[in-house]
Amino acid sequence: MKALLHITRQENKGPFLVLLACTLIVCLFLFSILFAIFSKGLAVVSFDFITQSPTNGMTQGGILPAIVGTLLLTLITAVLSLPFGIACAIYLNEYAKNNRFTQLIRAAIRNLAGVPSIIFGLFGLALFVQLFQLGTSLLSASLTLGLLSLPYLITTTEEALKTVPQSMREGALALGATQFETIRDIVLPQAVPGIATGVILSLSRAAGETAPILFTGVAFFITDLPTDLSGEFMALPYHLYMLSTQHQSIEAVRPLAYGTASVLIILVFLLNLTAIVIRNRYRTK
Amino acid sequence: METLITTKTAIQISDLNLFFDTKQALKNINLEIPEKKVTALIGPSGCGKSTLLRTLNRMHDLTPDVRITGKVMVGTTDIFDHHTNVHLLRKKVGMVFQKPNPFPKSIYENIEYGLKINGFPKHKIKDIVEESLRKSYLFDEVKDKLNEPANRLSGGQQQRLCIARTIAINPEIILMDEPCSALDPISTAKIEELILELKKDYTVVIVTHNMQQALRVSENTAFMYLGELIEYDETSVIFQNPAQELTKNYIGGHFG
């Protein structure tokens, strides 16, 4: 009997090893991408590279207009989409009753998140550029990216609101607070770290998009920095696409393409890092 | 029954029925709660005592699919009347919850918040905060750390802070939903001592699972079972000589 017990019930190393292997493969891909880009790109990234405009038919010089373009684009996208996204999440989580209408809204948001980004690009072209006569501009592109970000913004904000315990709302209401006061004074302050994290992550995703800005405002080559909302602009993802596939002397600009990719990745990492810092800061509080 | 008749009524509940969707949680409740006394609601889990308590300050307003019939008068206010301002009602009828729920703010701000939203004059706030902390026997323990986060207090202190927060806005009635069930015996004793003190100024309605607690703090006790009010009398009568067989069995520990 004793021997039998020893044989039949042993912890098998198999599952552990398979799971570990899968995890390592995932990491392997990430690190090989990073290595491929940074090993060739970091050499190009210098102070001049990020502070100068492209020169000599983009075979020399830096990528300043693209960096500024992407930063502005992300910023304006945030300004345009945050109020709607957060308001919508508050409505859904705090006010909406769970009925057919709300289910329809939720289904719409879920499906919006599944729409391919190129379709957002074409939709932006039809709606903002043509119908609203905004032209191919920073504003049209920001509006399009804003639409793309909305479902993520709404979902992450709603998750953040859900983490605030119901007992907090009840505590405020029991003191005579209105529902609006409860949300403003008690719920939102507690949800801020979660909302901030979600906002930054959806923006960092938007910053790397090419398809939605392709038809709505991004330009091949502009030496001037964008000065107003109605002009076209350069952006890192499109600049990279262009340097790697559309340039007349692709071999000559290859290092610049790697440099651009490095800058874009670093930019997105910095955004994500900000999100992590905010989250940890509030968690330890 | 003497005490029930001779004192003024704080809350008058008449023919109260409450449905969650199609399930009836309260069945034809009639209950008179006297002023400036402690009334205990006891009964097994799911008997509707918390549901009844939460009806009294209309905490069910935000729960979907709740249907209420009947009448509840708080003083001269019909609480279900369309003209009744629910926020003023809740200022008058305060509530302390089962689990201490201080806001993630400082001790001071926790009490200040209710005063602010209810429009208490700014220059009085500091005094009221201190006074309500004294009244809830918390002041000496926290007077040097009023600006520290309330979450750092112990569970019992947090619950006393929640009581302080409730009495700060000067209610007439305090509803307590098993206020000690998450606390250790020493903290429980402090809260009970506080309840006995509170009834000098306030009407207290307390839901409790702990029958000894009902015996220690309350003048009157209502026993509920399956959504019905089975028996309501002076606490000593309920515990020593109940009229109903069900009450006797519950008090005797035969079920629940």
A74 and A105 in a single domain? The answer is yes
Q: Is the separation of the CB atoms in B39 and B219 below 8 Å?
A: yes
Residue of A nearest to B88 (CA): A176
A52 and A158 in a single domain? The answer is yes
The domain of A172 spans 47-284
CA distance A60 to A76: 29
A27 and A146 in a single domain? The answer is no
How far does the CA of residue A147 sit from the closest CA of chain B (Å)?
32
pLDDT tens digits for range B149-173: 999 999 999 999 999 999 999 999 9
A230 and A112 in a single domain? The answer is yes
What pLDDT was estimated at residue B223?
94
Residue of A nearest to B165 (CA): A175
Domain residue extents for chain B: 2-251
What pLDDT was estimated at residue B100?
94
CA distances (Å), origin B163, targets A142, B101, B189: 50, 10, 15
Inter-chain CB pairs, A–B, below 8 Å: 62
What pLDDT was estimated at residue A57?
74
pLDDT tens digits for range B92-129: 999 999 999 999 999 999 999 999 999 999 999 999 99
A232 and A153 in a single domain? The answer is yes
Distance of CA B228 to the CA centre of its chain: 19
**Is A177 close to B87, i.e. CB distance below 8 A?**
yes
Question: Is B54 in a helix, a strand, or coil?
Answer: helix
A178 and A105 in a single domain? The answer is yes
A163 and A101 in a single domain? The answer is yes
How far does the CA of residue B35 sit from the closest CA of chain A (Å)?
20
Structure tokens at B27: 């069945």
Q: Is the separation of the CB atoms in B95 and B162 below 8 Å?
A: no
Q: Is the separation of the CB atoms in B68 and B28 below 8 Å?
A: no
Burial, B252: exposed, middle or buried (Cβ in 10 Å; 0-12, 13-18, 19+)? Answer: exposed
A3 assigned to some structural domain: no
A142 — phi, psi (to 5°)?
Answer: -65, -40
For an interface test with A, the pick among B57, B86, B90 (most A C-beta atoms closer than 10 Å) comes out as: B90
A265 — phi, psi (to 5°)?
Answer: -65, -45
Structure tokens at B225: 């079972």
What pLDDT was estimated at residue A76?
93
Q: Is the separation of the CB atoms in B136 and B102 below 8 Å?
A: no
Q: Is the separation of the CB atoms in A171 and A266 below 8 Å?
A: no
A88 assigned to some structural domain: yes
- pTM exceeds 0.90 for this model: no
pLDDT tens digits for range A19-66: 999 999 999 999 999 999 999 989 888 888 888 888 877 778 888 888
Q: For the domain that residue A75 is a member of, what is the CATH number?
A: 1.10.3720.10
Contacts of B159 in chain A (CB under 8 A): none
Q: Could you state, in chain order, the average pLDDT of each consecutive group of 10 residues for chain A (285 residues)? A: 62 90 95 93 87 80 88 92 94 90 92 92 93 91 94 93 94 95 94 90 89 88 81 89 86 89 92 86 66
Question: Is B232 in a helix, a strand, or coil?
Answer: strand
Confidence of residue B1 (pLDDT cuts 50, 70, 90): very low
Closest among A99, A96, A97 to A87, alpha carbons compared: A96
Rounded to the nearest 5 degrees, what angle is found at the Cα of B133, between the Cα atoms of B130 and B138? 135
Q: Is the separation of the CB atoms in B217 and B206 below 8 Å?
A: yes
> What's the structural domain count of chain A?
2
Whole-number percent of chain B with pLDDT over 90: 82
Contacts of A167 in chain B (CB under 8 A): 97, 99, 101
A229 assigned to some structural domain: yes
pLDDT tens digits for range B218-238: 999 999 999 999 999 999 999
For residue B24, list its beta bridge partners.
B19
Confidence of residue B16 (pLDDT cuts 50, 70, 90): very high
Contacts of A163 in chain B (CB under 8 A): none
Residue of B nearest to A171 (CA): B101
**Is B59 close to A170, i.e. CB distance below 8 A?**
yes
What pLDDT was estimated at residue A12?
84
A53 and A20 in a single domain? The answer is no
**Is B103 close to A97, i.e. CB distance below 8 A?**
no
Q: Is the separation of the CB atoms in B53 and B222 below 8 Å?
A: no
Q: Is the separation of the CB atoms in B192 and B216 below 8 Å?
A: yes
Mean pLDDT of chain B: 91
Contacts of A190 in chain B (CB under 8 A): 104
A31 and A102 in a single domain? The answer is no
What pLDDT was estimated at residue A284?
57
Q: Is the separation of the CB atoms in A185 and A120 below 8 Å?
A: no
A6 assigned to some structural domain: no
A207 and A85 in a single domain? The answer is yes
Could you tell me the CATH superfamily of domain B2-251? P-loop containing nucleotide triphosphate hydrolases (3.40.50.300)
A1 assigned to some structural domain: no
Report ipTM (2 d.p.): 0.91
Rounded average pLDDT over B236-242: 92
Helix (H), strand (E), coil (C) string for chain A: CHHHHHHHCCCCHHHHHHHHHHHHHHHHHHHHHHHHHHHHHCCCCCHHHHHCCEECCCCEECCHHHHHHHHHHHHHHHHHHHHHHHHHHHHHHHHCCCCHHHHHHHHHHHHHHHCCHHHHHHHHHHHHHHHCCCCCCHHHHHHHHHHHHHHHHHHHHHHHHHCCCHHHHHHHHHCCCCHHHHHHHHHHHHHHHHHHHHHHHHHHHHHCCCHHHHCCCECCCCCCCCCCCCCCECCHHHHHHHHHHCCCCHHHHHHHHHHHHHHHHHHHHHHHHHHHHHHHHHHHC
A20 and A97 in a single domain? The answer is no
A63 and A20 in a single domain? The answer is no
**Is A175 close to B88, i.e. CB distance below 8 A?**
no
pLDDT higher than 80, residue B175: yes
CA distance B69 to B57: 15
